[in-house]
Structure formats: C-alpha cells, structure tokens
Amino acid sequence: MAQLSLLNISGKDAIRQRLQALRQELNLHAHRYYVLDDPILADAEYDRLFQELVALEQQHPELITPDSPSQRVGGAPLAQFATVAHSVPMLSLENAFGADDLVDFEERLFRFLQIREPIAYVTEPKLDGLAVELVYEDGLFTLGSTRGDGLIGEEITQNLKTIPTIPLRLSTRAGETAPRRLEVRGEVFIGLADFKRLNEERGQAGEALFANPRNAAAGSLRQLDPKITATRPLDLYVYGVSDPTTLPCRNQHELLKYLGSLGFKVNPLVHLCQSIAEAIGQFAQLQSQRPTLPYDIDGLVVKVNDFALQERLGAKARSPRWAIAAKFPASQATTRLIAVEFGVGRTGAITPVAILEPVRVGGVMVHRATLHNEDELRRKGLMLGDTVLVQRAGDVIPEVVKPVIENRTGQEQPIVMPTACPECGFALIRAGQEAITRCPNPDCPAQRVRGLIHFTGKGGMDIEGLGKKAVQQLVGLGLIQDIPDIYRLTTEALSTLDGWGDKSAENALRAIAASRTPTLAKFLAALGIRHVGEVTAQLLARHFTSLARLVLAGEADFLHIEGIGEQVATSLVDYFQDPAVQEMLARLEALGVSVQEENRDSEADGALAGSVFLFTGALARLSRHEAKARIKELGGQVASGINRKVTHVVLGDSPGSKLTKARELGLTVITEDEFLRRIGR
C-alpha cells in the first residue's frame, strides 16, 4: 500500500512538472508573438502544446494555477462590476495644442522649481483608448480595474485576463524577485485593422456597428461575460506605475525599460528628449506618422523624465504638474450654421450653442456644437447661415472652428448675444475679467433644474431613478423646487410621473432614503459649488472631516490645503456664507439628512493634525507610499515640494537638494527613527 502511494506521488510530481514546463513555454511564445512581434514557433505547434496543457488540467483541476494560459478565458458572467479604490489617484492630464503651449508648460516648470537648467522629458504617443490599472502581488496578476473617476474604478480582472499582452505572471531574471506589490497603469485599445474586421463581422451578423475603436475597446472591457471580451481584439501598452519610488528606477525612461523586462508591452515610439525643443520636434514627427500608425492616437504625452523632479512638482487637484498631453488638430468637417441657442448652466453661465445641419465628424453625427462664450463668438466672427468648419475638440467634444468666409452669399445674419437671461429674464452680467456671461438670479429656473439634476446624478448623490427626465418632470409639476424638497417626496407624488407606478416610486424613495447619510466628499460634490468637483471634494473632506468644520472655515484655512487655490477658496467662502445656502443646509438637517464625518479612529483625530511632512532621501524601514498613507490616516498632510507650510522634513538616506532648501527656510528636520515614533511604528 505504501509503495502504491509513493508511485502516485511520483506520478503527480511528474504531471506538475510537465504543467509547469508547458506554462512557461506557452507564456514565452505568447510574449514573443503578442508583445515582441517575433514568433519562433509555428501556430500549429503552439496549439498542440496548448491542447496538451488543457487536457492535463482537465484531468487534474487541483493543479490549475492563476497564471496558466488556460485561465485567460473563463469565469461565470457577472451580475455587475464591483468597485476598486485606487491607492494613488489616476489623474488626468492638462492639454497643450501646439509648440507655444509646450514652451509655456516648461516655463511653468521653471517658475515652480525656481531653476533654469535644462529639463529632460520622455514623450509617448497618447493612445485613444481606455486607461486601466493592473495590480500584481508577488509577481502574480491579482486585480484589474478601469480608471473610473480617477479615485474609484470598476473591477474588471477577468476581462483584462483575456488580453494576451497582459502578463498573468511577471517575468524576472535569474536571481531577481518580483516586487511585493506593483500597480501598473496602461491604455487598452483596439488596432485599426482589427476594428475594421470587428465591425465587418458585426455588420454581417446584423449587429450595431461601433462608432470608433475607443468605443469598441470600452464596450468590450465592460462586458459582464468575460467570454465575450475574449472574442474582441484588445491590446495594451503600459505607461507607468502608481508609485515609482518603490522600484529600482530613477526616471520615466528607466521605468519603461524595466516594465518591458517584466513582460509588459511598451510603445516602441517612446523617446527620451533632452529639451522641450526636442519634445516639440517629436510632436511634429508623430503627427506626420499618425496616418500610418496601426492604432488611433490623438496626441503626444510629454513627461518630466526625472522622478525626483516629478516629486518636487507634485500635482494639482486633477492633474500632475510634471506631464501634459499635446493634442493633435481634431477631426474636421464643414456644414451650415442654422441657429444659435443660449443655454443656462447650473452656475448661471450663458453658453452659446450652434445648431448645425447634421454632419459626420470623426465617425460621429454632429448637429450641435459649443461656441464657448461671447468673446469666442465675436473672435470667430460667425454669422447665422454661415458655412462653418466643425471639429471634435480632443476628438471628443464638437466645436465650431471658424466660418468659411468664401462661401458667404450676403444672406447671412448677425448673431445677437442676449442681454437678459433666456430663462428668467434677469439682466445678464460679466464680473471682472471673466469671459463668462452669467445670470445672477439664484432663483433662475434653469439653474435650479440643472443644479437638481447634478445633485441627484452620478456626479452627485447618484439617486437611482431620479435622472434628468424625472427631475425635469418633478420641477414642471411643482413637486420639487430645491434640494430639500427631494426628501419630502412621497409615493403618491412620484407615481404620477409619466411611465411611473407605485413600484418605480417605491424604488426611488428607497434610493432617496439611502442618500440621507452621504459621505462628506459625496455631499460636497453633489452641491455643485463652483470649481468644486469630485477630486476637490475629496481633498476638502480629508482635511476638515466634518461639514460643520468646513462651513466655518475661512479662505486661509482652504489655502492651507495642497491643491486648493485662491479661486476655489473664494468660491467656497462665498457659497457657505450665503444665507440661502445656510437655510438650505438647516432644512436638510431637519429632514434627516446627516452628512457623515470622515472615518478616522481616535488616534487619528489629532495625532498629526496640522502637520505637513516632506520626504527627502530613501527611507530604510518602510516605503514612501506606506509613510504617506500613515500620515494621512493620522490627520496630517504630505507636501510635494519645499514651502513654508511644511512643518517637518523627514531625512532619509542620500537626501537631495530639498534638505539645503529646508535649512535655508529654517524648517524642522527629523530623522526616519523620529518620524517612525511620531506615527506609532
């Protein structure tokens, strides 16, 4: 009996070894085929090895591993996607539209850094795809998500596993180990030839065609059934990680090479530039290459190469200071300007909107386009009846570029900017140097409706059932006039809406009830305060932790927060000092709306409150990311550059120029050991 058992163990070990060898060989050849475009194995031989792998795994399912090539397709369809909070926000990039904007970008860097020495940059094609994050733990792919709003994305791990250019296990050289945790960012896309074939297949099957490759990629990644995603020709290029300080790389160029060594696909058109002039040259060269590329791009990303400089530059609320997206001229077409409508936004901004004869621009049918503001309208010299050049700004938002003067017949009519609000009749104003004309009436029905739509929408409280159409109906019927009225709604009132019944009304009321205890960040974003979006709301919530403290804050308190500027601070003070706002907040409280404080344990309530830390040099006993996270848990802040708001400079190994500047400013410098004592380590 003992001999039989030993034979079984020996046989199982042989199968395990064969499976390991098959996986390694198949992953190697897949990498050469999909990433390096340099196959050395015939397709038939690859298929034979794959079938052997699948057959062995079917016989011994207990030996299947997460990184097996067989696991790229599988899993039951999901009912819905879970959400994932990014440990480091996936910020968007500011845009540049030519050489002058790139020169201005470098000038801003010089002013912020207070230097004039040349800065090196890395340029990368800006793919028109979908940003994702891939998390690896001890070298194994464990979690994948979309960018989402930059803070929270959708968990799409199984769908991402179907993309052959995403390694399921990182490659490492002999003697090396994979990082304990690595969060890689990249862009998922579909190549132009694959997109054409995909649409041809859909057309032959009688299915709706995708408008463009980006829509196709986004729709494919958001399939609840991974088997459907597996049929789509998705690809990926990686461009960075969430926290490069944890890796053996000093700059972006080294990082991309390092990611390539781990098995990721890195765009071959990445270029290291020693000056902004060289980056501008790359912009022009890539623009000329654009028609010949096998995938869609809409610009060039320019990044400061040196990570030490990136850290000094830091980020604003929505974008890093050290990177910019230089956008190519957008897709264009000509059509006729039929009329101009003047819309009223939720902040009272009057926006002229061109009504056009429908025209296809960049694969999308366009019949309306923004004219931005009165100054832009005058600068372009547009007239009703003009033939106009239309483009999709950033290849997304339709806008009118200019009139085609040569096509004028003399029948065109001037466009007259209104002097009174088209919704409420109040006299319009333009404050100071603002380019925006506004309706100053806080009771303007258009502002009220748009504010309510924002409050209940996905960028606000996300109250299911109370979408744009429902809100408009409720206002039209006189059932709601302002935000507190939402919390007075009844089943009887809601069931009177077009297409609604008792069940729809009850579902909406449950969603309204669930929204009575919002987080502070969610509530602030929902209020629609000028210049306060979701990212800024998160900054405010983390700093003040409660609505009561925030309401009493002054401009100086707001300016103390990294990422909050004078414009935002003034807007916040003006908003919360408005008696109508104070009365609205009181009514909401009386109706049972209770804004939750930021969750912090008793230790965090004040341990590092008011402290601002800056790191220089490498920490020996914990990662920079862990240190920053602990500071924020304890109520402190982390600075990205030297300034007088910094209360403690933490000294690591091989400190940089920050130490000299800190001593010049007389800032408190502490050792890593002292820092660890302060955070309870």
Q: Which residue, 536, 558, 590, sits at the end of a domain?
A: 590
Would residue 79 count as lying in a domain?
A: no
The model's confidence at residue 393, banded by pLDDT at 50, 70 and 90, is: low
Closest CA to 57 of 46, 67, 66, 70: 70
Give me the chain's average pLDDT, please: 85
Average pLDDT over residues 356-372: 84
At residue 403, φ and ψ (nearest 5 deg) are: -80, 155
Asked if residue 302 has pLDDT above 50, the reply is yes
Would residue 399 count as lying in a domain?
A: yes
Of the candidates 126, 161, 522, 628, the residue annotated as catalytic is 126
* pLDDT per position as a tens digit, 513-565: 999 999 998 999 999 998 888 768 888 998 899 999 999 999 999 988 877 88
What is the DSSP secondary structure assignment for residue 79, as one 8-state letter? S
Closest CA to 472 of 454, 490, 491: 454
Clarify whether residues 665 and 555 are in a common domain.
no
Q: What percent of the chain has pLDDT over 70?
A: 89
Asked if residue 38 has pLDDT above 70, the reply is no
At residue 518, φ and ψ (nearest 5 deg) are: -75, 160
What's the pLDDT at 546?
93
Q: Dig out the tokens for 555 from the structure.
A: 């401009």
**Pairwise CA distance, residues 665 & 659, whole Å:** 10
CATH number at 166 reads: 3.30.470.30
Average pLDDT over residues 337-366: 88
Average pLDDT over residues 259-275: 95
Clarify whether residues 104 and 133 are in a common domain.
yes
What's the pLDDT at 34?
52
Closest CA to 335 of 386, 382, 380, 377: 386
Would residue 80 count as lying in a domain?
A: no
- Least confident piece of the model among 2-16, 119-133, 174-188, 607-621: 2-16
**Pairwise CA distance, residues 155 & 145, whole Å:** 4
Clarify whether residues 113 and 215 are in a common domain.
yes
Asked if residue 3 has pLDDT above 50, the reply is no
Average pLDDT over residues 287-299: 89
Clarify whether residues 105 and 187 are in a common domain.
yes
Q: Dig out the tokens for 30 from the structure.
A: 């897949």
Torsion of CA 266, 268, 274, 280, to 10 degrees: -110
Q: Which residue, 414, 432, 462, sits at the end of a domain?
A: 414
The model's confidence at residue 63, banded by pLDDT at 50, 70 and 90, is: confident
Asked if residue 1 has pLDDT above 70, the reply is no
Would residue 433 count as lying in a domain?
A: no
**Pairwise CA distance, residues 479 & 474, whole Å:** 5
* pLDDT per position as a tens digit, 66-92: 777 776 654 454 557 888 889 888 988
Are the beta carbons of 38 and 265 closer than 8 angstroms?
Answer: no
Clarify whether residues 527 and 551 are in a common domain.
yes
Asked if residue 489 has pLDDT above 90, the reply is yes
Q: Dig out the tokens for 384 from the structure.
A: 């009703």
* pLDDT per position as a tens digit, 176-214: 888 999 999 999 999 988 988 888 888 777 777 777 788
126 a catalytic residue: yes
Clarify whether residues 472 and 606 are in a common domain.
no
Task: Give the structural domain span for 30.
Answer: 2-72
Would residue 424 count as lying in a domain?
A: no
CATH number at 500 reads: 1.10.150.20
What's the pLDDT at 5?
38
* pLDDT per position as a tens digit, 412-436: 999 998 999 999 999 999 877 677 8
What's the pLDDT at 2?
38
Average pLDDT over residues 384-407: 82
Clarify whether residues 374 and 304 are in a common domain.
no
Clarify whether residues 189 and 316 are in a common domain.
yes
CATH number at 345 reads: 2.40.50.140
CB atoms within 10 A of CB 339: 11
- Domain count within the chain: 6
What's the pLDDT at 271?
97
Residue type for 511, please? A
Q: Dig out the tokens for 648 from the structure.
A: 């403690």
What's the pLDDT at 599?
63
Clarify whether residues 506 and 565 are in a common domain.
no
Would residue 315 count as lying in a domain?
A: yes
* pLDDT per position as a tens digit, 10-25: 577 888 888 888 888 8
CB atoms within 10 A of CB 569: 20
Measured between alpha carbons, how far is residue 249 from residues 114, 243, 621, 625, 640 in Å? Answer: 25, 11, 19, 15, 19
Are the beta carbons of 532 and 520 closer than 8 angstroms?
Answer: no
What is the DSSP secondary structure assignment for residue 330, as one 8-state letter? P
* pLDDT per position as a tens digit, 435-477: 788 998 988 999 999 999 999 998 899 898 999 999 999 999 9
Would residue 427 count as lying in a domain?
A: no
Clarify whether residues 274 and 166 are in a common domain.
yes
Would residue 60 count as lying in a domain?
A: yes
Clarify whether residues 188 and 312 are in a common domain.
yes
- Least confident piece of the model among 168-177, 228-237, 412-421, 570-579: 168-177
What's the pLDDT at 660?
75
Q: Which residue, 414, 432, 467, sits at the end of a domain?
A: 414
Clarify whether residues 190 and 253 are in a common domain.
yes
Asked if residue 27 has pLDDT above 80, the reply is no
